[in-house]
Structures are given as C-alpha cells and as structure tokens.
C-alpha cells in the first residue's frame, strides 16, 4: 500500500483560504468570544454561507462535515476526507472553538454524511447537526447507551438524557444515539436525526467550560419525543452479529477530523513560540543535533518531532478513508497521538514563553485550555489506546476491556 503523505497540490488554494480565514476572522475575535462564553459569534454567519457555496461546487469538502465513502476503487485518491481534514487543521490554527461553532459543520453532519441514505442526505443537507452520544451514566463507552427508541406506528418514541452535546444549543438538529432494545446490547443502538422544536426535546442547560468557551455545550432531555421513523440513519434492522458497526463507522471519519483540529492547534502554539524564541535571540537550527543547541531550541525540536508524528498519522487515516480502506485502527491511532501531542505541545509552549505565555497578552494560554477537549471528545485518550490494542491483538470488547 503506497501512500504519498505530501500535501496534495490541488488543495493548495483551499488551505490558503482557510489560513486567511484563521488570520483575518478567527484570531481577531478569538479572545472576545472566549470571554463572552455562550455568546454566538455572529461573524460566522457570512463565513458559513461562503463555505456552503464552496461545498455546493462539489470540488472540495471544507470544514468538519465528514464525507460519504464511495463504492469502487479508481486508484489512489486524495478526496473529500483529505480536503476536510486539511481545511479544519488550518482553521483550528486560528481557533478551535470557532470551528466548532460553525453552522452546518457539526459532528452530527459527519454522522449524516457517513451513514445516511441518499434520500436522507438530500433532506438533511441544509441542517446544522450536533452529535448526542454521552449520557450521565457513561462517557466513552458508546455501547452503554440507555436512551431508548420505541417504534410506535410511523414514529420512534425517544426517552433519555444526553450531556456534553457540542453546539447543542445552537444547532438545527441533533443526531441522537438510542437503543431499540436494551436486551440485545450494542447491536440495537441506532442513530436518529431529531430536529429542534420537536415536542419532548428540551435543551436543559449550557455548560461552563475550561476551554472552547465560544462553543456551547448542552444537556438535552428527551421525554416521549416522537421522531419520524424515516429519521433513523442507516438500516432499522437489528443485526446482532454485526454489532453496531454502522453507527461506529461515523468515528472512522470524525476521529481523523478531531486529530486535524489538534494538529492545527498545536501548530499555532509552535509558530507563536518560534517567533517568541527568535525575539529572545534563540535560533532553532534543524541542521544541528538538539544536544548542542540552546535548551529551549532542543525542547522546540522535540515538540516539532511530536507534531510531525501526529500529522503523518492523521494523513494516513484520512488517505485510507478516501481510498475505501478500513481505517478504524489508523483513525484511533491518529486521534490518540494528536490529542496527546496537542496537550503536551501547548502546555510546553506556555512554559517556554514564561509569564507571557501564561497571561492573556498571548493566545498561548487559551490554546492550552482549548487543547484538552481534543484529547477527550470523540473517544478519550484511554479509549483510543484500548481500541488500538484490540485491533492489534485481534480481540473483541469482551476479551479486552
């Protein structure tokens, strides 16, 4: 399997545009909305319309929408997954919370793109969709869903509570994970598109958070919430032998995207720190061994190597998705490495910058706060390591917990 992990030239303009957005839109308002938690950045509306137009052209997939896998193999491709990951990486160089606040770029949109049928794709195309998986009784163990969906005529009746729903207060709809039959375990877990305004669906509160403060994070309760049966994503049949591979397929697309967010945030911290080191008279020399350089330069080189590893794993997982190759292992490896690297790099950059990095005079302290969520959501660091171990050892969830 030959993979070229160089940045595809055809995405050069897309990356340049995303960088311009980061520089001219995200960075200037980043601190403002970090302080004004839960206030929607109205500047994003015009940008969202522009992105919708770019996506409608069919040439690229921008933002965090995720993509639909195509049947067949026409040779090596750098397609929609790659364009999405590269654009979100560059956008998160500007601000992670702004990216998570972009209309119609939610992780629920990635779920719809991954598993919806053609009719559903057309019907939900203009929706801004959040993802609702986590519940008060569990975090990363997606198989522990207790929210229920009971078929009643032409509707499913949903009951349960979801927490930590990113953009849950602002989005047009929520992709809700619920069980059709708890006695059948994870095989009965399906995802449903529940549009805002549906009776029985209530946004109960918004969380106050360490980072990504410009992005709202909601708790949503469903009480006898009637959802049209046509809103179930994928097959309504419960296939015990297959498990819930259908809904889990979403993560194969979204985890590389989250890795891209982490890689972008870490790159921002590295670029800022390099400028600060130059101002302090410390030059990073890539042609000399780290041990003969200034201690700060040696630390910087270590962080660069860590970043490069995360970047390459992200690119591998994304390339595999574009080429219809199973990438569950690689997606988890990319997410685990990038999430950890981003936290380590941003905190070490704060340390290298000293009091300046710890103050609000720089965005370094904000990036350090924002970085932690990238190691948590879409499956924590520990869960990713568990998935990787299961894949490498060829063991299932019952054999390796």
pLDDT in tens, 219-236: 999 999 999 999 999 888
Residue 107 contacts residue 141 (beta carbons within 8 Å): no
DSSP secondary structure string for all residues of 145-212? ---EEEEETTEEEEEEEEEEEETTTT-SEEEEEEES-GGGGGGGEEEEEEETT-TTEEEEEE---SS-
Does 2 fall in a domain? Answer: no
Whether residue 207 lies in the annotated active site: no
* 381 and 259 together in one domain: yes
Per residue in 348-363, pLDDT (tens digit) is: 999 999 999 999 999 9
Prediction pTM value: 0.92
Residue where a domain stops, chosen among 57, 89, 123: 123
Which segments within 207-331 are labelled E, that is strand? 217-228, 232-233
pLDDT at 75: 53
Residue where a domain stops, chosen among 123, 153, 177: 123
pLDDT at 52: 72
pLDDT of 292 higher than 90? yes
Number of domains in the chain: 3
Query: 262: which 2 tokens?
Result: 């982490």
* 58 and 144 together in one domain: no
Range of the domain at 220: 129-233
| Average pLDDT for 28-56 | 88
pLDDT at 64: 46
Q: In which band, very low, low, confident or very high, does the pLDDT at 5 lie, cut at 50, 70 and 90?
A: confident
* 200 and 302 together in one domain: no
Least confident window among 112-121, 176-185, 334-343: 112-121
Q: Say which CATH number the domain at 288 has.
A: 1.20.140.10
* 281 and 375 together in one domain: yes
pLDDT at 17: 92
pLDDT at 230: 97
| Average pLDDT for 239-249 | 61
**What phi, psi does 193 have (nearest 5°)?**
-90, 115
Q: Which of 43, 195, 378, 399 is catalytic?
A: 378
């Amino acid at each position: 399997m030959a993979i070229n992990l160089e940045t595809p030239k055809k995405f050069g303009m897309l990356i340049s545009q995303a960088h311009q957005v980061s520089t001219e839109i995200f960075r200037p308002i980043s601190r403002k909305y970090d302080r004004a938690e839960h206030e929607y950045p109205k500047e994003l509306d015009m940008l969202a319309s522009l992105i919708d137009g770019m996506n409608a052209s069919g040439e690229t997939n921008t933002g965090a929408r995720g993509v639909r896998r195509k049947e067949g193999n026409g040779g090596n491709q750098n397609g929609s997954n790659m364009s999405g990951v590269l654009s979100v990486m560059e956008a998160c160089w500007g601000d992670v919370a702004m990216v998570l606040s972009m209309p119609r770029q939610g992780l629920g949109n990635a779920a719809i793109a991954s598993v919806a049928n053609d009719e559903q794709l057309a019907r939900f195309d203009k929706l801004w969709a959040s993802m609702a998986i986590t519940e008060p009784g569990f975090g990363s163990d997606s198989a522990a869903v207790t929210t229920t969906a009971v078929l009643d005529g032409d509707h499913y009746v949903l009951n349960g509570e979801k927490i930590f729903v990113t953009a849950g207060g602002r989005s047009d709809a929520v992709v809700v994970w619920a069980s059709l039959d708890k006695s059948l375990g994870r095989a009965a877990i399906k995802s449903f598109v529940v549009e805002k305004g549906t009776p029985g669906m209530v946004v109960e509160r918004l969380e106050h958070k360490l980072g990504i403060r410009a992005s709202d994070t909601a708790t949503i309760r469903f009480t006898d919430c009637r959802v049209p049966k046509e809103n179930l994503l994928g097959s309504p049949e419960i296939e015990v032998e297959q498990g819930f591979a259908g809904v889990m397929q979403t993560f194969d697309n979204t985890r590389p995207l989250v890795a891209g967010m982490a890689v972008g945030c870490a790159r921002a911290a590295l670029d800022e720190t390099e400028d600060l080191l130059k101002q302090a008279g410390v030059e990073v020399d890539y042609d000399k061994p780290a041990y003969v350089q200034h201690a700060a330069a040696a630390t910087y080189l270590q962080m660069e190597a860590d970043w490069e590893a995360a970047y390459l794993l992200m690119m591998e997982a994304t390339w595999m998705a574009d080429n219809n190759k199973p990438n569950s292992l690689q997606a988890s490896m990319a997410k685990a490495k990038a999430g950890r690297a981003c936290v380590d790099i941003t905190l070490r950059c704060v340390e290298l910058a000293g009091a300046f990095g710890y103050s609000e005079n720089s965005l370094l302290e904000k990036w350090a706060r924002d970085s932690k969520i990238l190691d948590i959501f879409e499956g924590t660091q520990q869960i990713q390591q568990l998935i990787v171990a299961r894949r490498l050892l060829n063991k299932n969830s019952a054999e390796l917990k």
